[in-house]
Amino acid sequence: MIVNEQIAIDHGLKKDEYAKICELLERTPNITELGIFSAMWNEHCSYKSSRLHLKKLPTKGKQVIQGPGENAGVIDIGDNDAIVFKIESHNHPSFIEPYQGAATGVGGIMRDVFTMGARPIANLNSIHFGSPQHKKTKNLLRGVVHGIGGYGNCMGVPTIAGQTNFDSSYNGNILVNAMTLGLVKKDKIFYSKAAGLNKPVIYVGSKTGRDGIHGASMASASFDEKIEEKKPTVQVGDPFTEKLLLEACLELMAGDSIIAIQDMGAAGLTSSSIEMASKGNLGIEINLNKVPCREAKMTPYEIMLSESQERMLIVLENGKEEQAKKIFDKWNLDFAVIGKTTKSKKIELHFDGEQVANIPVNTLVENSPMYDRKWKKAKLPKKNKIKKDDIKNLKIIDVLKKILSNPNVCSKEWIWQQYDHTVMGDTIQKPGGDSGVVRVHETEKAVAASVDSSAVYCWAHPLTGGKQVVCESFRNLISVGAKPIAITNCLNFGSPENEDNMGEFVECVQGIGEAAEFLKFPVVSGNVSFYNQTKEEGIKPTPSIGGVGLIKNYKKMITMDFKEIDNIVLVIGKTEGHIDQSLFARNILDEKNGPPPEVNLFNEKNNGETLLKLIDSGYIKSAHDVSLGGIITAVSKMCIKGNKGIDLKKPKYLINEIEYFFAEDQGRYIVEITKKDQKKVTDLLNKNAVHFDELGTINEDQLYIDDKTKVTIDELKTSNTSWLTNYMSK
């Protein structure tokens, strides 16, 4: 095939990009070379619209071993132990083929983690679907959940936490973000930087097929009416093979034969070989005839662009080939020496005795496009005033029941019960709490992790929303007694070629950066997913934040369930009565305008660190952060979890009950303490200038408000647990 401008455009390249390729090569590329450029220069692999802004994020910290730029981030948790973690998107594939899209998303993120020498110990996910009334939503939800569970369960890795949201902006483009944590010894971390000349380049894992070709390019474009035609671009996963690959890689890593290792993810053999060569400032020569293929007559183009799953590329020390081959033979996996490292600083490909590609590595990486796209700054919306007539006839209990049954607040037990959350035997806080928690095997330490997003706040004001979602992650870790260490992010947005969308991205990233810097909560890994839209209809800006923290003694872990009758319940943090963009405003008043709640970073840090001191001192019996639905929603969930009631009393503020109980002011926690510890607790809160309210006392089985309004915990439980089960059973 003779390459021309139109063929380049059909590969997702712009006219000027194709011209630049010809200029860099000083010739017209052949079809294989064009395919390689299209894969490496697409949005998914090159970050050409986002690199400029991502550079501004804080990425360093006392416990950061590896920040962005590797397969995953790495943090130090003491005693020569380290946690490897990352979150990534698999949005487009999951919308086209929900089971395989979600399954291979889980498989891909686990490979990113064990590529670095870590054994995966926990999975999380953040999944977003369209309106429950939309004709596709139910089937997409069912397929995605089955895909996540089907892959993770077979791998024997627990799914410990996650979030599920519904919003009409996802009708034409769902989001599936998968996160994995792995445990590794600090002196056994592996990297992807190739080193040394004439070192053997090894292909291991499954055979290469025609599935997933152009998967990365598909993820870098919007959907249109031809969506069904893109099914062949979705990869097909085999978790049983990945389990074998995990064990084989870890066995090989126990020795001293690996120089570099890289997962074959997006763009397959293309990206893995080029990234290894680029990081090592070397060249790589590959004989494509030696690549194990499962389909006949595959072309060099197909071999290089295939995204078949469960494959790795390894650079070995000389003379270690036979030893390594024995390991992969034992695990019944393909093993092939397909090339070598060179001093050429080029990717040189051979097939059937001919050279089919000869590309300088720097043209693919250092010379890849980087755009400073136009963007619009968002204005902070004006505040709305609640009219007395809008709320005078509202009954708090009726509103509470409606909010508890809201799709974004209701119990997601139907989902997480399909995931194995106890396998490996170290899960000590299962899904449904503020964070999932796993013990570090045979130690007193535990690692907490959560995943959060806040599309509504980011849509209302991206800068504030970006700050908020980092703070939410911070609070969720603290609520279980973990010291927050670092975050990973998955930034899901519409087309960057749209100035409004690009503005949302830029300001969300700015907000994330400001919060992460102030809270000493650096970003160590992540992923950007643009073009989440069908035609011109884009999603709400949805940055997902995965937070990781450490509990030095797992016996001090906190759960959200109320523990004992007559214990006192406090609200830490001040309630100003911010209703705009709250669940109450949007779902009860049908008011979609207004600013999100203000984020005070000083208060977030001060309130959180003070609560950690109280937890460490043993004063806190249960805790839960205040988020969607406000104080009364948080309290209700604690009642439901603990099967206890509470006598609530509104403090004597100049705001009404509706504003106090349903406002979504930030930086707040609900905590349970004993009467005997009350003075010690309040003294420390006062000493640290932390505002608090005494909210009430725990009773046997009813929620009372000022002794005049009551509801049983069974009624609250029914409201909270029935919606999703009923929805999926119809």
Distance CA 470, CA 253 (A): 35
Helical ranges in 11-136 per DSSP H: 15-25, 31-40, 43-46, 51-54, 91-96, 98-114
Tokens of 114: 């064990």
Q: What angle do CA 397, 399, 401 make, to 5 degrees?
A: 70
Is 128 among the catalytic positions? no
Tokens of 726: 């009923």
- Are 96 and 214 a contacting pair, CB within 8 Å? no
Tokens of 545: 């934040």
CA dihedral 224, 226, 231, 235 (to 10 degrees): -40
Cβ neighbours of residue 322 closer than 8 Å, sequence gap 6 or more: none
Helical ranges in 199-297 per DSSP H: 215-218, 239-253, 268-280
Is 11 among the catalytic positions? no
Tokens of 299: 């072309």
Distance CA 140, CA 95 (A): 7
- Give the distance, in angstroms, between the CA of residue 670 and the centroid of all CA atoms in the same chain: 26
- Are 325 and 315 a contacting pair, CB within 8 Å? no
Report the b/e string of 398-430 with b at 16+ CB within 10 A: ebbbebbbbbbbbbbebbbebbbbeebebbbbb
Give the type of residue at 346.
K
383: left (phi over 0), alpha (psi -120 to 50) or beta: beta
Distance CA 93, CA 696 (A): 48
Distance CA 243, CA 255 (A): 20
**Which residue from 520, 517, 499 is spatially nearest to 509, judged by alpha carbons?**
517
Tokens of 395: 């009954």
Distance CA 306, CA 270 (A): 9
Q: Quick one: DSSP state of residue 457?
A: H
**Which residue from 85, 65, 67 is spatially nearest to 75, judged by alpha carbons?**
65
Distance CA 292, CA 329 (A): 14
Given the residues 11, 44, 461, 624, select the one marked as catalytic.
44
- Are 463 and 479 a contacting pair, CB within 8 Å? no
Given the residues 11, 90, 128, 624, select the one marked as catalytic.
90
**Which residue from 539, 353, 545, 368 is spatially nearest to 456, judged by alpha carbons?**
539
Distance CA 411, CA 406 (A): 9
Tell me the helix, strand and coil percentages in the chain, rounded to 5: 40, 25, 40
Distance CA 540, CA 519 (A): 26
Please name the helix (run of DSSP H) or strand (run of DSSP E) that holds residue 412, with its range, or none. Answer: none
**Which residue from 247, 242, 114 is spatially nearest to 182, judged by alpha carbons?**
114
Residues β-bridged to residue 313: 203, 262
Sign of CA dihedral 607, 610, 615, 621: negative
- Are 480 and 434 a contacting pair, CB within 8 Å? yes
- End-to-end Cα distance, the chain: 52
Pairing of strands 200-205, 334-342: antiparallel
655: left (phi over 0), alpha (psi -120 to 50) or beta: beta
Cβ neighbours of residue 693 closer than 8 Å, sequence gap 6 or more: 570, 571, 575, 651
Q: Which sequence positions are flagged as catalytic?
A: 44, 90
